[in-house]
Amino acid sequence: MKIVFSKLAKQELDDATNFYELEFEGLGERFREQVKRAVTRIAEYPEAWSTVRGGARKCLLHKFPYGLLYSIEKDHVFIIAVAHQHRRPDYWVGRNDG
């Protein structure tokens, strides 16, 4: 299934990648690789993760405290947020920048 990132989710991905890269060289790339793996899993099995607030689903990343929040649309999966799991829960609810 096709994956579409919201503008804000793309920005969150870039921001987190840059943060990790500043913390330790190569860590940003490892973070991005975990996101790619999660996106692949979501594309193959979009209904595998349970729903959270607002009917969105959450796929947690391995080795990083982030999750991909997404909705299943008619012809694609829409990534709503690349959200840190220990900061401002539910800040993404109500996003509609698809």
pLDDT of residue 22: 98
Among 22, 3, 13, smallest CA distance to 64 is for 13
Percent of the chain with pLDDT over 90: 82
pLDDT of residue 86: 86
Say how far apart CA 83 and CA 15 lie, in whole Å.
11
**Structural domains in the chain?**
2-84 (3.30.2310.20)
pLDDT of residue 92: 60
What does pTM read for this prediction? 0.89
Say how far apart CA 72 and CA 42 lie, in whole Å.
10
Say how far apart CA 87 and CA 89 lie, in whole Å.
6
Alpha helices in the chain (DSSP H): 7-23, 27-44
What is the residue-averaged pLDDT of the chain? 92
Say how far apart CA 18 and CA 94 lie, in whole Å.
26
- Structure confidence by residue, pLDDT tens digits, 12-60: 999 999 999 999 999 999 999 999 999 999 999 999 999 998 889 999 9
